[in-house]
């Protein structure tokens, strides 16, 4: 049985990343400039550091945190815009058991997720 693009597990991580970036206000990914690549790296680092683990490991480089696997995923999304469109359309729901963290940590995460420009 053929799976549609939305039902496929292919590009699962990239779709989730696309959804996060879409929630942060991005309508597409542009990896054409160094400044954009740096912004994506730092933004996802802050999101993860605020408690939303996306599974990207970071190393420290000259300009701060850097994740090679995040770079690969971002370039894949940039190359194939259908991934971003499909990921942006994902619908999520909060797991009540996982959402019972402290109110302060949820407020901190919400403030971080509102960051659009550095």
Asked if the structure places residue 5 within a domain, the reply is: no
Total structural domains within the chain? 1
Asked if the structure places residue 2 within a domain, the reply is: no
Whether the predicted pLDDT of 100 surpasses 60: no
Q: Which distant-in-sequence residues (6+ apart) come within 8 Å of 70 by Cβ?
A: 17, 40, 41, 44, 56
The answer to whether the beta carbons of residues 20 and 44 sit under 8 Å apart is: yes
CA angle 109–21–85, rounded 5-degree value: 145
Asked if the structure places residue 4 within a domain, the reply is: no
pLDDT at 117: 42
Asked if the structure places residue 23 within a domain, the reply is: yes
Cα gap 98→63, rounded to integer Å = 33
Report, as an integer, the average pLDDT of 59-81: 94
Report, as an integer, the average pLDDT of 36-48: 95
pLDDT at 96: 46
Among 77-81, 85-89, 103-107, the range with the most confident prediction by mean pLDDT is 77-81
pTM of the model: 0.71
Confidence of residue 10 (pLDDT cuts 50, 70, 90): confident
Cα gap 107→112, rounded to integer Å = 9
Asked if the structure places residue 33 within a domain, the reply is: yes
pLDDT at 87: 84
Helix (H) or strand (E) holding 104: helix 103-113
Asked if the structure places residue 81 within a domain, the reply is: yes
Domain that holds residue 20: 12-113
């Amino acid at each position: 049985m053929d799976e549609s693009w939305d039902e496929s597990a292919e590009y699962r991580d990239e779709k989730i990343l696309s959804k996060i970036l879409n929630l942060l206000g991005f309508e597409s990914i542009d990896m054409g400039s160094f400044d954009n690549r740096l912004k994506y790296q730092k933004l996802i680092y802050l999101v993860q550091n605020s408690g939303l683990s996306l599974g990207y490991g970071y190393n420290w480089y000259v300009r701060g945190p850097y994740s090679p696997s995040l770079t690969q995923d971002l370039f894949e999304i940039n190359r194939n815009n259908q991934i971003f469109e499909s990921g942006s359309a994902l619908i999520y729901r909060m797991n009540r058991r996982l959402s019972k963290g402290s109110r302060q940590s949820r407020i901190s995460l919400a403030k971080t997720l509102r960051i659009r420009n550095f």
